[in-house]
């Protein structure tokens, strides 16, 4: 009777997300996946099906980890505009603290795989919708408190804010300094007033 190797699924998904973030899906060999996760080939196939299914699950894991920051911000007893400002500043701080990261796994996946893989596209679109819905809620809160007076529907602004968040992640990969990233955040927040 074969022995079943025990492993922590969260640790495997974190390791897989990290290697896919650094090298992309197509740039990551199966041997690199096995080394990064510590799984044997049979354990990977038994538990995740194949490299592609592991990739999709690691995208979901990465998305949920990013959502944890938004959930913490959501709980803060501050207005919606302050929550947006806090989110942007946290993103900049993370980008500066992790200069060796190869960008955001979700942004990278959108560029590399979303046109080739429907499942990847679904994860990316679900993330976009969830983030925009959160931002819309924060904008609505700021409007209801008379902190903001927006001339267009809040959904339009949430799309702009989402695009700017993605742009910050891409901009950091081109060597942008913290000051440059903060300048983008300031102009973005100022454009809401």
Whether pLDDT at 3 is above 80 = no
The closest alpha carbon to 56, from 128, 113, 133, 104, belongs to: 113
Residue 80 to residue 67: CA distance in whole angstroms: 17
Whether pLDDT at 183 is above 50 = yes
Provide mean pLDDT across the span 46-68: 94
Residue 70 to residue 74: CA distance in whole angstroms: 6
The band of 49, judged by pLDDT with boundaries at 50, 70 and 90, is very high
Provide mean pLDDT across the span 145-170: 95
Virtual torsion, Cα 54, 21, 73, 176, nearest 10 deg: -170
81 in Cβ contact with 142 (< 8 Å): yes
Residue 104 to residue 170: CA distance in whole angstroms: 8
């Amino acid at each position: 009777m074969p022995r079943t190797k025990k492993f922590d699924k969260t640790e495997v998904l974190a390791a897989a997300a990290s290697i896919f973030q650094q090298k992309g899906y197509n740039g990551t060999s199966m041997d690199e996946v096995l080394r990064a996760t510590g799984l044997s080939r049979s354990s990977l196939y038994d538990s995740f099906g194949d490299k592609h299914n592991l990739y999709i699950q690691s995208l979901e894991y990465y998305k949920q980890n990013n959502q944890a920051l938004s959930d913490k911000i959501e709980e803060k007893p501050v207005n919606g505009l302050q929550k947006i400002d806090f989110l942007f500043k946290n993103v900049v701080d993370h980008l500066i603290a992790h200069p060796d990261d190869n960008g955001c796994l979700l942004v990278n996946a959108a560029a590399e795989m979303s046109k080739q893989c429907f499942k990847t596209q679904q994860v990316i679109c679900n993330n976009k919708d969830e983030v925009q819905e959160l931002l819309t809620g924060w904008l609505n809160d700021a409007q209801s408190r008379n902190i903001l007076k927006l001339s267009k529907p809040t959904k339009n602004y949430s799309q702009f804010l989402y695009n700017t968040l993605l742009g910050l992640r891409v901009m950091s990969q081109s060597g942008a300094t913290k000051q440059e990233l903060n300048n983008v955040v300031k102009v973005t927040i100022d454009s809401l007033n």
